[in-house]
Amino acid sequence: MRIMKISHRHQASALRKTMRSSMAPCTHAIKSAHWSKLAQHTHTMLVQTGRLIQLRMLAQPRTLAKLRMLAQPRMLAQQRSLANNARGAKLSFFKLALPLSLSLVLSSLVSGCSLGASEVNLDRYTLTQDIAPESYLNQSYSVNVALAPILNQGGVVLQVSDVSLRPAKNYRYSANLDNELKLLLIDELNKAQSSTRYRYDLFVSKFQGTLDGEAIVEVSWQVSGMRSHREVLRGGKELNSALSEDGYEALVLELKNNYLHLIKEMIAQLPKR
């Protein structure tokens, strides 16, 4: 019995070995077929992924172009609205600026016509063109000349009514009028060899022309001793004269002559040495 059991065991073991050896090629074939299918599937997936990437790369410019085409009308509309706004702002500016500029031009024309000055005059009028050169540097005489405020603005003054004076804007003196009148006085004192012991104070209240063609000069004077301060002479006078011709140049010459006439009268009244 024991011998029979051993033989059965050997037979079963031999049978298992035989079955294993016979099934090994089948198992190997099954494994090979599985890996082959897996490799084919992986290759297919890689190919499809590559094609998808290529399609996306090809489709991207088209998509961008489509987006640009869609956005272009909006951009154009925004640009047109901005241009229209700018154009409207320019039109509104010109609508406001044009009437203002026209009103300024008209007002300047009216004011120019009211003053009677159609052209800008660049000439300047001097009163000291013919005085002696030494009078400019003569410091022997103590002289002070003061002007009414309206005369101290540089322009030739016109009396347009009984109570109204107007200095010209374009017709002006070449230097300060008080200095010009002071030099004229020093020149006349030097010519007359007047005393240097006196102080000469003058106040010019009128030095103007009228619309009727007259030249008006009014001067007040006071002469006093330099050391004693005692008053030697006090007086004043107004002188009117008609112009020989029209124009500012004739007016300035006549004003100068009237002033010289008045200061000569003053010098003639001084005490003799």
Instruction: Choose between 50 and 266: higher pLDDT.
Output: 266
Q: Is the pLDDT of residue 57 over 80?
A: no
Task: Dump pLDDT digits (tens) for 73-110.
Answer: 566 566 666 666 656 555 454 454 445 455 554 445 44
Same domain, 153 and 238: yes
Position 17 scores a pLDDT of 61
Q: Is the pLDDT of residue 59 over 60?
A: no
Q: Which of 89-103, 135-149, 219-233 has the lowest mean pLDDT?
A: 89-103
User: How many other CB atoms are there within 10 angstroms of residue 224's CB atom?
Assistant: 17
Provide the whole-model pTM: 0.58
Q: Is residue 98 part of a domain?
A: no
Position 109 scores a pLDDT of 45
Q: Which of 216, 269, 264, 212 is nearest to 240 (CA)?
A: 216
Same domain, 45 and 128: no
Position 120 scores a pLDDT of 80
Quote the strand ranges of the chain, DSSP E.
124-125, 142-147, 155-159, 165-173, 198-210, 214-225, 231-242
Position 122 scores a pLDDT of 83
Give the span between the Cα atoms of 160 and 209, in whole angstroms. 9
Same domain, 186 and 134: yes
Highest mean pLDDT among 17-31, 55-69, 109-123, 183-197: 183-197
User: Structural domain of residue 66, as residue ranges?
Assistant: 1-84
Q: Is residue 273 part of a domain?
A: no
Q: Which of 81-95, 116-130, 160-174 has the lowest mean pLDDT?
A: 81-95
Same domain, 202 and 145: yes
CA distances (Å), origin 240, targets 125, 148, 213? 20, 18, 10
Highest mean pLDDT among 8-17, 85-94, 111-120: 8-17
Q: How many domains does the chain have?
A: 2
Domain boundary among 84, 106, 138: 84
Same domain, 251 and 137: yes
Domain boundary among 57, 84, 111: 84
Query: What is the CATH classification number for the domain harbouring 181?
Result: 3.40.50.10610
Same domain, 45 and 143: no
Q: Is residue 95 part of a domain?
A: no
Residues in the chain: 273
